[in-house]
């Protein structure tokens, strides 16, 4: 049901990682703005990451179940509708409940700066807003460590 | 190697255009006077001299009461017509108290659950004197019914109700992704609305065939043109298949395009759109009425061109894009506010957007003459190029068996994803520039003030909904919903059935889930 995309791993830095990182890339909530996340998903795939794209309209429950099933090293959530606080909160609660809250959650979308501290407190590792370059995003993911 | 010059959509541009660029080109055949077939120069002989474009700002946030106040303010400041922005749960046909609506109520538009909210939204606004545009697709039939029910309560006859409902479901599958049912039953609902509108709503635009969202999703200008017209062809065919005479409904179809930053490319796109549509209507569908040939359109400046960085620059971008819409002969125009990459617009930002249009209309003199760019070697060549590229894509879609099949195959979706990735790579390499983002970047920017919708709105909306549910006649709701379900299973026109449900204060969620029980839901095969 999920679309998994991998490209050759030759771009991947084999010195730091023994295997390509698996990333869950998701659109949370009702928001259908998927231009950004698709571009990011493709850039991450082209950079050697294993990308699992959930598609649209995912509830926190669906995202966390996918993270569990797919055994991922990072969860990317894209929200442009303004519902980020409620959705992130639920995702974090479910991650804790399933004892996988170590998996970093990375948020992208339209997020006002005044919400940054609240989101960080909820456990979001990193936030990318509009104007972030692909290079910046890919470089960040290259610093992540594999889980387990 | 010499430097390559290209538009934002990567159409290569020559250094100079001369009469030889327009070989074989004939004034009568390719342009015609304004108001004459094929309408390249515009749909009216006098264009803005007689009637300026309609200034229509898309607006909606929080509860119906909050938005009603903003509408009164915009009308007082000289706006001509209303344009409703709905929140995500309303757009998806679910109620504010649905668990999936959590955190989304009133966030990116106004929350509407029942007729009660619509009554509040249009309080003090006579619906026979203002035209309203509603950006509503999946549950369009419900919102149209609610609007008509408000008119009924105000004592306004349906024949006097003027406005537009977007109701363009095909572009939802292609770009905006706000659907409820699969494409085929969605097209049946649209057929019912076309039939109903043709009979009862002479001043209502039944579909606004939209390229805007296709462009925002990352398409090129030519793709926007091609997929929008292909959708239009799909709707005309659907109307004919429903037994309508093309000339009875085609004049009420309108269009909606994006105005991006590549000034001449956009103008060429609008001019090509008019010419192509006129030819399709006359040649393919054999429409006889000249009103069926004309492509009327609304324009919105490109939200995706705005930047969170140095947001004041967005005022400049919007002004230039708006001017392209005007020089392209738009019938109505929305100008984005400078803060829209951050949040919904503040009152001050919305006022500047409104004033931008007033400056263009009343200070610059661009309304003095019709199609001032007609005959420019460059603009005419580019118009031709847009048409050529778009026709190639439409031909491909025709070969697949039409736009519904093409969508089911994911063709437009894949083409758009590819174009948006290509553009992003051009940005990364600085082949294309966005001021303040990949060039002229400033450190330590001071944030601007933005509108904040707090959680109180959701609580208020849910408690209002509870109250309405308690006060309405539950039996009547049940009866209306059962009739609607039966209608959906059969072939009855659904509009009167939805109207009855709305009048009984059935919620949008109840109505849409009744239909979903019959029609099923939809999940797309995502591609990236």
pLDDT tens digits, one per residue of B138-190: 999 999 999 999 999 999 999 999 999 999 999 999 999 999 999 999 999 99
> Which CATH number applies to A3-142?
3.40.50.280
More confident residue, A130 or B476: B476
- Nearest beta carbon to residue B428 from set A114, A131, A134: A134
List Cα–Cα distances, B74 to B56, B299, B300, B353, B493, in angstroms. 9, 18, 17, 11, 36
Q: Do B103 and A85 touch (CB under 8 A)?
A: yes
pLDDT category, A5, cuts 50, 70, 90? low
Average pLDDT, chain B: 96
- Nearest beta carbon to residue A38 from set B94, B304, B417: B417
Q: Which one, of A143, A99, A104, A96, lies nearest residue A120 by Cα?
A: A104
Q: Do A131 and B421 touch (CB under 8 A)?
A: no
DSSP secondary structure of A50-83: EEEE--S-B-HHHHHHHHHHHT-SEEEEEE-SS-
**Two structure tokens written together for B380:** 């005419």
| Statement: residue A117 has pLDDT above 90 | yes
Burial of B5-34, coded b for 16+ CB within 10 Å and e otherwise, reads eebbbbbebeeebeeeebeeeeeeebbbbb
Q: Is residue A29 within 8 Å of residue A81, measured between CB atoms?
A: yes
pLDDT category, B247, cuts 50, 70, 90? very high
Say if strands A105-109 and B332-334 run parallel, antiparallel, or are unpaired: unpaired
* Radius of gyration from C-alpha coordinates of chain A: 14
pLDDT category, A15, cuts 50, 70, 90? low
Question: Which residues of chain A lie closer than 8 angstroms to B307, CB-CB?
Answer: 130-131
What predicted TM-score, i.e. pTM, was given to this entire model?
A: 0.93
Q: In the predicted model, what is the mean pLDDT of residues B358-368?
A: 97
Q: In the predicted model, what is the mean pLDDT of residues B205-225?
A: 97
**Two structure tokens written together for B483:** 């009739």
Question: Which residues of chain B lie closer than 8 angstroms to A42, CB-CB?
Answer: 417, 421, 528
In angstroms, rounded to a whole number, what is the distance separating the alpha carbons of residues B121 and B58?
Answer: 14
Say if strands B297-301 and A74-79 run parallel, antiparallel, or are unpaired: unpaired
| Statement: residue B70 has pLDDT above 50 | yes
Question: Which residues of chain A lie closer than 8 angstroms to B420, CB-CB?
Answer: 35, 38-39
The alpha-carbon gap from B443 to the nearest alpha carbon of chain A, in Å, equals 14
The alpha-carbon gap from A58 to the nearest alpha carbon of chain B, in Å, equals 9
Question: Which residues of chain B lie closer than 8 angstroms to A51, CB-CB?
Answer: 528
More confident residue, A38 or A10: A38
Q: In the predicted model, what is the mean pLDDT of residues A2-23?
A: 62
Q: Residue B126, Cβ neighbours under 10 Å: how many?
A: 12
In angstroms, rounded to a whole number, what is the distance separating the alpha carbons of residues B225 and B206?
Answer: 20
Closest residue on chain A to B433 (Cα): A131
Q: Residue B338, Cβ neighbours under 10 Å: how many?
A: 27
List Cα–Cα distances, B411 to B216, B258, B417, B522, in angstroms. 17, 21, 10, 17
Backbone angles phi, psi at A92, to 5 degrees: -65, -40
Q: What angle do CA A109, A114, A117 make, to 5 degrees?
A: 90
Q: If you count residue pairs, one on A and one on B, with CB atoms under 8 Å apart, how many are there?
A: 109
**pLDDT at residue number B245:** 98
**Two structure tokens written together for B182:** 């699969």
The alpha-carbon gap from B453 to the nearest alpha carbon of chain A, in Å, equals 9
Q: Do B91 and A30 touch (CB under 8 A)?
A: yes
Question: Which residues of chain A lie closer than 8 angstroms to B304, CB-CB?
Answer: 35
More confident residue, A82 or B249: B249
Closest residue on chain B to A5 (Cα): B528
The alpha-carbon gap from A48 to the nearest alpha carbon of chain B, in Å, equals 15
The alpha-carbon gap from A54 to the nearest alpha carbon of chain B, in Å, equals 8
**pLDDT at residue number A4:** 59
Question: Which residues of chain A lie closer than 8 angstroms to B101, CB-CB?
Answer: 30
Q: Do A55 and B523 touch (CB under 8 A)?
A: yes
pLDDT tens digits, one per residue of B486-504: 999 999 999 999 999 999 9
Q: Do B420 and A135 touch (CB under 8 A)?
A: no
Q: Which residues contact B333 (CB under 8 A, 6 or more apart)?
A: B53, B54, B55, B56, B298, B299, B300, B322, B325, B326, B357
| Statement: residue A9 has pLDDT above 60 | no
Counted residue by residue, chain A has a size of 148
**pLDDT at residue number B174:** 97
Where exactly are the structural domains of chain B? 19-400
**pLDDT at residue number A19:** 85
Question: Which residues of chain B lie closer than 8 angstroms to A134, CB-CB?
Answer: 424-425, 428
| Statement: residue B136 has pLDDT above 50 | yes
CATH architecture, domain B19-400: Alpha-Beta Barrel (3.20)
- Nearest beta carbon to residue B528 from set A53, A87, A114: A53
Q: In the predicted model, what is the mean pLDDT of residues A15-29?
A: 85
pLDDT tens digits, one per residue of B418-451: 999 999 999 999 999 999 999 999 988 888 888 8
| Statement: residue A10 has pLDDT above 50 | no
Q: In the predicted model, what is the mean pLDDT of residues B384-396?
A: 98
pLDDT category, B386, cuts 50, 70, 90? very high
**pLDDT at residue number A18:** 66
DSSP secondary structure of B240-301: HHTT--HHHHGGGEEEEEEE-S-HHHHHHHHHHHHHHHHHIIIIIS---SHHHH---EEEEE
- Nearest beta carbon to residue A133 from set B101, B420, B428: B428
* Radius of gyration from C-alpha coordinates of chain B: 23
CB-based contact, A86 to chain B, within 8 Å: yes
pLDDT tens digits, one per residue of B74-128: 899 888 889 999 999 999 999 999 999 999 999 889 999 999 999 999 999 999 9
Q: What angle do CA B173, B10, B269 make, to 5 degrees?
A: 65
B-facing residues of A in 2-61 (CB < 8 A) are 3, 5, 29-35, 37-39, 41-43, 45, 51, 53-56, 59
**pLDDT at residue number B236:** 98
Q: Residue A8, Cβ neighbours under 10 Å: how many?
A: 8
Q: Is residue A35 within 8 Å of residue A78, measured between CB atoms?
A: no
Q: Do A112 and B424 touch (CB under 8 A)?
A: no
Q: Do B88 and A131 touch (CB under 8 A)?
A: no
The alpha-carbon gap from B182 to the nearest alpha carbon of chain A, in Å, equals 15
Among A83, A87, A109, A115, the strongest candidate for a mutation testing the B interface, having the largest count of B CBs within 10 A, is A83
pLDDT tens digits, one per residue of B3-35: 899 999 999 999 999 999 999 999 999 999 999
Q: Residue B392, Cβ neighbours under 10 Å: how many?
A: 11
Q: Looking up tokens 């109307």, which residue turns up?
A: B239
Tell me the sheet residues that pair with B333: B55, B299
List Cα–Cα distances, A35 to A39, B294, B406, B411, B455, in angstroms. 6, 32, 20, 16, 27
| Statement: residue A148 has pLDDT above 80 | no
List Cα–Cα distances, B434 to A86, B224, B405, in angstroms. 32, 21, 36
């Amino acid at each position: 049901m999920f679309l998994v995309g991998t490209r050759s791993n030759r771009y991947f830095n084999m010195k730091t990682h023994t295997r390509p990182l698996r990333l869950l890339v998701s659109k949370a909530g009702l928001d259908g703005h998927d231009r950004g996340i698709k571009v990011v998903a493709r850039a991450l795939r082209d950079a050697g990451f294993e990308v699992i794209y959930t598609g649209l309209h995912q509830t926190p429950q669906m995202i966390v179940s996918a993270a569990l099933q797919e055994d991922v090293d990072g969860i990317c959530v894209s929200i442009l509708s303004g519902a980020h606080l409620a959705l992130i909160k639920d995702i974090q609660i479910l991650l804790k409940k399933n004892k996988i809250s170590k998996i970093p959650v990375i948020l992208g979308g339209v997020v006002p700066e005044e919400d940054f501290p609240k989101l960080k407190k909820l456990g979001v590792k990193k936030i990318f807003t509009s104007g972030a370059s692909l290079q910046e995003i890919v470089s960040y993911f290259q610093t992540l460590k594999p889980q387990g | 190697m010499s430097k390559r010059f290209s538009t934002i959509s990567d159409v290569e541009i020559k250094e100079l255009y001369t009469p030889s660029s327009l070989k074989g080109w004939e004034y009568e055949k390719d342009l015609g006077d304004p108001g004459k077939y094929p309408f390249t120069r515009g749909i009216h002989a006098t264009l803005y001299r007689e009637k300026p474009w309609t200034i229509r700002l898309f607006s909606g946030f929080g509860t119906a009461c909050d938005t009603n106040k903003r509408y009164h303010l915009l009308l007082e400041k000289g706006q001509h017509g209303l344009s409703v922005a709905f929140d995500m749960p309303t757009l998806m046909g679910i109620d504010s108290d649905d668990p999936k609506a959590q955190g989304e109520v009133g966030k990116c538009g106004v929350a509407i659950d029942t007729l009660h909210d619509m009554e509040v939204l249009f309080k003090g606004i006579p619906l026979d004197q203002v035209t309203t545009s509603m950006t509503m697709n999946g549950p369009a039939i419900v919102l149209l019914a609610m609007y008509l029910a408000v008119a009924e309560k105000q004592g306004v006859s349906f024949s006097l109700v003027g406005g537009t409902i977007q109701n363009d479901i095909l572009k939802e599958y292609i770009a905006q992704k706000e659907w409820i049912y699969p494409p085929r039953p969605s097209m049946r609902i649209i057929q019912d609305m076309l039939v109903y509108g043709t009979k009862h709503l002479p001043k209502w635009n039944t579909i606004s065939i939209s390229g805007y969202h296709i462009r925002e999703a990352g398409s090129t200008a030519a793709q926007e043109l091609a997929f929008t017209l292909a959708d239009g062809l799909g709707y005309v065919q659907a109307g004919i298949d429903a037994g309508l005479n093309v000339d009875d409904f085609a004049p009420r179809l309108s269009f909606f395009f994006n105005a991006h930053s590549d000034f001449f490319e956009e103008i060429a796109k609008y001019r090509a759109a008019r010419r192509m549509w006129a030819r399709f209507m006359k040649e393919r569908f054999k429409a006889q009425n000249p009103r069926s040939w004309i492509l009327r359109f609304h324009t919105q400046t490109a939200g995706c061109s705005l930047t969170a960085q140095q947001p004041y620059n967005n005022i400049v971008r919007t002004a230039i894009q708006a001017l392209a819409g005007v020089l392209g002969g738009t019938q109505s125009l929305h100008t984005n506010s400078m803060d829209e990459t951050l949040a919904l617009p503040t009152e001050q930002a919305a006022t500047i957007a409104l004033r931008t249009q007033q400056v263009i209309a009343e200070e610059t003199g661009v309304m003095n003459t019709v199609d001032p760019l007609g005959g420019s070697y460059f603009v005419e060549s580019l118009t031709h190029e847009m048409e050529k590229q778009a026709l190639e894509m439409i031909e491909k879609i025709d070969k697949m068996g039409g736009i519904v099949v093409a969508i089911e195959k994911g063709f437009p979706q894949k083409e758009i994803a590819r174009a948006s990735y290509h553009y992003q790579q051009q940005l990364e390499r600085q082949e294309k520039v966005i001021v303040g983002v990949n060039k002229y970047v400033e450190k330590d920017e001071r944030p601007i003030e933005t509108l904040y919708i707090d959680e109180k709105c959701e609580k208020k909306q849910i408690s209002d909904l509870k109250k309405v549910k308690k006060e309405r006649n539950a039996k009547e709701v049940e009866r209306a919903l059962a009739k609607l379900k039966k209608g959906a299973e059969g072939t009855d026109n659904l509009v009167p059935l939805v109207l009855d449900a709305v009048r009984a204060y059935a919620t949008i969620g109840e109505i849409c889930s009744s239909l979903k029980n019959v029609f099923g839901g939809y999940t797309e095969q995502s591609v990236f």
